[in-house]
Chain A
Amino acid sequence: MERLNIICIDDQQNVLYTLQRDLTFFQSDLNLSFCESASEACQVIEELSAAGQYIAVVICDHIMPEKNGIDFLIELKEEERFSAVKTVLLTGLATHQDTIRAINQAHIDRYIEKPWNGKHLVDTIKTLITEFIFKVGLDYVKYAPYLDEKIVLERLHNPNIYSNRND
């Protein structure tokens, strides 16, 4: 059975646990994975991909030892098989230059500053999951409680907006 995965990456454990608490809403039907480094995230993503699972959303910190978040996201998006993945940069410390790279090279979908607002985060993830589902062409009915209703309605009125299939 296909599973949607949300991957969270931050070198601070307490940030990860706080994220976990905020994302409890998604816990029942989606998989949440927590990683303390970009390399750990790479491993997890590889394993999940190999098992045929979807990587729907990646939430990533920027400042981390070894590889930083933006570099990781750039590399992630360079791969064709992850082109549909929705990415969120969650950070308290990014320079102007970093942000430009994040947008232009990593093509991030959202930038959220730390400290973040819990509800805002959940709403953002809902929207991104909805976009992902429609982009990849999955059955959205199954994920109804986790979706952004506005987008679903738009999609019903205009089916070609979010699909990337050539009909």
Chain B
Amino acid sequence: MNLQIQNPPYDLDYIRAHYFSGPNGHISVDSGEIIMSQDEFNDRLYLLEKGRLDGYHELDGERIKLFTVEPEMFVGVHSFFSGTFKSGATVVAREPSVLCYIRFQSIDKAKRSQQFYKDFMPVVVHELFYRTLYLQQATLEKRDTLNQLIRNEKLASLGQMAAGIAHELNNALAVLARNTDWLCSKFNDIVSIKDKHEQNLSSHALLYGRSLSTRDTRSLYKQLEKNTNYNRASIQKLSEMNVCVNEEADYFTPDYIEKLYFKWQVATTLHDMAVSSNQASQVIRSMHILGSEPRKKVDQVSIRETINEALTLIHPQCKGINLQLDANSDAKIQANRSELVQIWTNLITNACQSLRNANITDPDISIRLFRRKSTFIVEIMDNGPGIPDDLLPHIFEPHVTTKVDGLSFGLGLGLSIVEKLLSFYNGSIDVQSKPGKTKFSVKLAL
């Protein structure tokens, strides 16, 4: 903690000249030497010329640092001016130091009346002010440390719980995921290869699921109603499957349409199951990270590459959003590739979702990678509505989320995972946010 008050409100040269220029008032001390001890007699006012001292309060055998004395500062102010002549602190030399001093008795009786106190009043006040400031700063730092500790505690216990849950779910999820994959692969076996409609419809549905919006389904329905003679039930099924029929070319019986629809429904259901089980696995993997220990970093990994990989992964989510990457550094760090990718993925996904939820007209995400001395900085900035001030101090805590889009698989863990992963790299993250501009800055050491 560096606390230096510039321009003290008194004329040091004047005071030096009038009080401290006597011949015998000089001492030199080595590091560790004690200049005065708490509660002991002291009738000297010291002025530090060279070196550095620390003032401590002794309490129950513990030493609490009260102040630091830099050159041109005074020591022994309390004992000298309070009239107690008892030192309030133990002052120890941190470095070899030179001090000059005056003794209370040596001050001319005349001077000791008005002029003396007039000259030294600013010194005393200044000294008191400095010490108050010092203590305030120490308190603030302690509070920040305490908050960080509490946060780490919370994260640690949540991490343990998450790991426990993840473990429990792992087996069930693995079974779910594997079986869904198997079903999907077997599904193709039951689709007739001879029937090209069934083939096309079902395999498309298996891969992409239902992709037609309700609006488009409805307009296709109206179109089919107008242009064909199929009954209501058939038209409804055809429009859902996005089948545009040319009645001359193919005629479908209601039973055939029913059969097609059935297989198509099975295909879309399997698709949705596959998507959901993948997402569930992803969540479990993320939760697992929360409770994990750092893994050995195996590769030299290009940060830029990992950002690009993240962008590829979440490409579908960013449709319609203007993404810009400005990475002029191809530097590599010792890392686990997937961990870095996860960090960028989480941050960019958050930005996408925030832009999407607020329906921003020209959504923009810009990513910058650059190097400052031995630190790599990745900035991810979006022009979304920002994070409310009251939420800002809490966003790295698990489960804080403003995402209210129904099926949010993120669980609000995204940022705490980012923080956890960064702790493996001795990295840090901070955020600046206001409506229209939110910027997350990630720092990684070389």
Interface of A toward B, CB cutoff 8 Å: 10-17, 27-28, 33-36, 40, 44, 61, 63, 65-66, 92-93
Contacts and interface: CB of A to CB of B under 8 A. Distances in A.
5 contacts: A12-B405, A15-B406, A63-B404, A65-B356, A65-B405
B406 A63 contact: yes
Nearest to B212: A13
Given A14-B272, A93-B404, A93-B406, A65 B214 contact: no
A28 B359 CA distance: 38
Interface of B: 210, 213-215, 217-218, 233, 236, 268, 272, 356-357, 359, 404-407
A65 B215 contact: no
A65 B357 contact: yes
A13 B406 contact: no
A34 B215 CA distance: 8
Contacts of A36: 213-215
By Cβ-Cβ distance, the 3 closest A-B pairs, closest first, are A34-B214, A63-B404, A12-B406
B377 to A, nearest CB: 33
A28 B237 CA distance: 12
Given A17-B210, A17-B268, 8 more contacts: A13-B214, A14-B407, A33-B218, A63-B404, A63-B405, A65-B359, A65-B405, A66-B359
A11 B357 CA distance: 12
A93 B404 CA distance: 8
Interface of A is mostly: loop
Contact of B405 (A11, A13, A33, A40): A11
Contacts of B233: 27-28
B214 to A, nearest CB: 5
A16 B406 contact: no
B320 to A, nearest CB: 14
Nearest to A21: B265
B406 A61 contact: yes
Nearest to A44: B218
A65 B355 CA distance: 12
Contacts of A17: 210, 268, 272
A13 B210 contact: yes
Contacts of B272: 14, 17
A25 to B, nearest CB: 14
B441 to A, nearest CB: 29
A111 B340 CA distance: 44
Nearest to B268: A17
A40 B215 contact: yes
A127 B174 CA distance: 41
Contacts of B213: 13, 36
A33 B210 CA distance: 16
Contacts of A34: 214, 217
Given A61-B406, A63-B405, A16 B359 contact: no
B214 A16 contact: yes
A63 B404 CA distance: 7
B214 A40 contact: yes
Nearest to A14: B272
B218 A11 contact: no
A10 B405 CA distance: 11
Nearest to B211: A13
Contacts of B357: 65
A24 to B, nearest CB: 10
A45 to B, nearest CB: 13
B321 to A, nearest CB: 15
Contact of B407 (A12, A40, A44, A66): A12
A130 to B, nearest CB: 23
Contacts of B215: 36, 40
Given A65-B357, A65-B359, A66-B359, A11 B406 contact: yes
A90 to B, nearest CB: 11
A92 B403 CA distance: 13
B142 to A, nearest CB: 38
A92 B405 CA distance: 10
A63 B407 CA distance: 11
B264 to A, nearest CB: 12
A39 B339 CA distance: 42
B275 to A, nearest CB: 9
A92 B406 contact: yes
Contacts of A11: 405-406
Give the most central of A61, A65, A66: most B CB within 10 Å. A65
A27 B356 CA distance: 34
Interface centre among B213, B215, B272, B406 (most CB of A within 10 A): B406
Nearest to A41: B214
Nearest to B222: A47
Contacts of B404: 63, 93
A66 B215 CA distance: 17
A18 to B, nearest CB: 9
Nearest to A12: B406
Contacts of A10: 406
A38 B373 CA distance: 53
A14 B211 CA distance: 11
Contacts of A65: 356-357, 359, 405
